[in-house]
A and B are shown apart, each in its own frame.
Chain A
Amino acid sequence: MQPATVYTRDRCITGIHGMDEILRGGIPYGSTVLAAGTCGSGKTTLGMEFLVRGALAGEACAHFTATEPSVKLLENIRQYAFFDMNMIDSGLINVFDMDVLYSWLGLDKASFDLDDVHALIKAIVDIVNTIGVTRLVIDSVTTLCYKIKSEQLIRDFLFTLGKKLATLGCTTILISEITSATENAHWSSFGVEEAIADGIIVMGDVERMGHLLRFLQVVKMRGTSHSRAKHAIELTPLGVMLTPMLKWGAVSDKTNRWGS
């Protein structure tokens, strides 16, 4: 009897040290992944490196920044050796300021209605489609969703955007700001992002011997098996480095505490 052929989805190799091993080869192409993290957990750096690795492989990438001006973002990211300003100048990585996009679309108002949400989706999809973007980061989807007042509209926005981007073969990281990354925490601010995303990566801090260590954990990733272990994040000049965490390490993790 012939063994059944195992179908594996094509992967978007993140190029981030340790990440592709966790994901058994990378993020399935066209996935929408929620990278939810507390402040200072390395979300923006992770997102930017994801794009840089793509750009180095010749992919067109786009970054929508809503939390900080692009000028500031680029200044901060320049300290990393993996980043090269030529990627921006040559158009391999296209950085868009959300407030500029809002202004161009006449969306410079406090809250968005259905028409506004559709206009925003159309604009993002237009950009992805026109320049053939295969890697996209929205930093952060939380800031963007604050302008969408109804939970139903947020759901529609994320679902429609994710579906359209997937159709275009664009792998997307939606950065989400959360206040806690503990076991009982939500992985998103509005509660709907985590249900719609194909994957959830949680980033936060654990205390170990008086030090705050950054960690990353893949909670969910449709279309691939993956490790669910916590990994320590090191933000090095060369980029993000992920290494498995020892189980005894986290003081806040009472079940795994040494000697308990």
Chain B
Amino acid sequence: MSKQIKFSPDDEEFFGSVGSFGVPKFDNAMNGGVPRGFLVVGFTETGSGLELFAKQLTSPAEEPDNTILISTNESQLEIARVFNKYKWPTDIAVRTLGEEYNAKVLEKELLASRYRLEGFKLPDIQRLAQTRFVDDDTQDFLTEMTNEIMAMGPYFRAVIDSLDFFMQREDQSRVVAMLRMMQAHTQIHRGILFVTVSKDTITPAIKQEMAAIADMVCDFKVRTIGSDFETSMTVSKFRNAPENLSIMVFRVTPEEGITPETVERIA
């Protein structure tokens, strides 16, 4: 039997049935915004603007302490700079797994390389002789991240940018299994979860499976037109609202971040 959550009428009224994308024009194009309980998957190409779109999606932050941005590629400093630039709220939770990985895993690997190359010095040997247990700080970042999302309360808003980090290090089917759990949690708690993944890091079968789990699928593309770039987003799946399927050409403005220029309906 699925878990039942009771939502108060006041909360229901406050949060509404949809949440904003963080860009009014996107909300209009999608007939109001992202329905609550949706898992949105963004497939991307390099340079298509998805990183900014992902951050922008956290900007409505109805409840900042119930909003999280999990970034695997950027540092806290870089993220803060973007949020400050666009004047988006900076009181949301931000977790930078790339930085954590560097600190916990890569530094250890670097030290091991040093020991292997240069050997042990006397202080190292003394420390080694006094160390009785292995520092068991091997982290399962995927499980940890899933737990973090699963611990979020009703109407949460979470963005994971991007799943590439896990797809390159873990069994891809395990990543999809975790995504299923997060999707179920999002649905039950009427949250909004947006995950990004590069098309090149996953197999067609995994892409297919992810698209099947998702409530909304966006394909981000970039192409060159003369000496210019054109970035676009194709909404190829929108559960229970096929009228929202569309191709949107967008641009980045200093005031609004990502803004759609043209919207072409597919269905």
Give the B-binding residues of A (Cβ under 8 A): 69-71, 91, 94-97, 99-108, 119, 122-123, 126-127, 130-131
Contact = CB atoms under 8 A, between A and B. Distances in A.
B169 interface: no
Contacts, number: 59
Nearest to B136: A103
Interface of B is mostly: helix
A103 B122 contact: no
Contact of B134 (A103, A127, A131): A103
A96 B133 contact: no
B117 to A, nearest CB: 9
Size bin of chain B's contact surface: 20 to 34
Nearest to A107: B112
Contact of B113 (A71, A99, A106): A106
B116 A122 contact: yes
B125 interface: yes
7 shortest interchain CB distances as A-B pairs: A106-B112, A126-B119, A94-B129, A119-B116, A103-B134, A126-B120, A100-B131
B118 to A, nearest CB: 9
Interface in B127-150: 128-129, 131-135
B6 interface: no
Contacts of B116: 105-106, 119, 122-123
Given A104-B128, A105-B115, A119-B115, 10 more contacts: A69-B132, A100-B131, A100-B132, A100-B134, A104-B111, A106-B108, A106-B112, A106-B116, A126-B125, A130-B120
B261 interface: no
Nearest to B124: A104
A201 B125 CA distance: 30
A101 B129 contact: no
A14 B199 CA distance: 67
Contacts of B121: 130
A95 B130 CA distance: 8
Q: Which of B116, B131, B135 has its CB near the most chain A CB atoms (within 10 A)?
A: B116
A130 B134 contact: no
Contacts of B134: 97, 99-100, 102-103, 108
Interface in B97-115: 108-109, 111-113, 115
Contacts of A69: 132-133
A58 to B, nearest CB: 18
A100 B133 CA distance: 6
Contacts of A104: 111-112, 115, 128
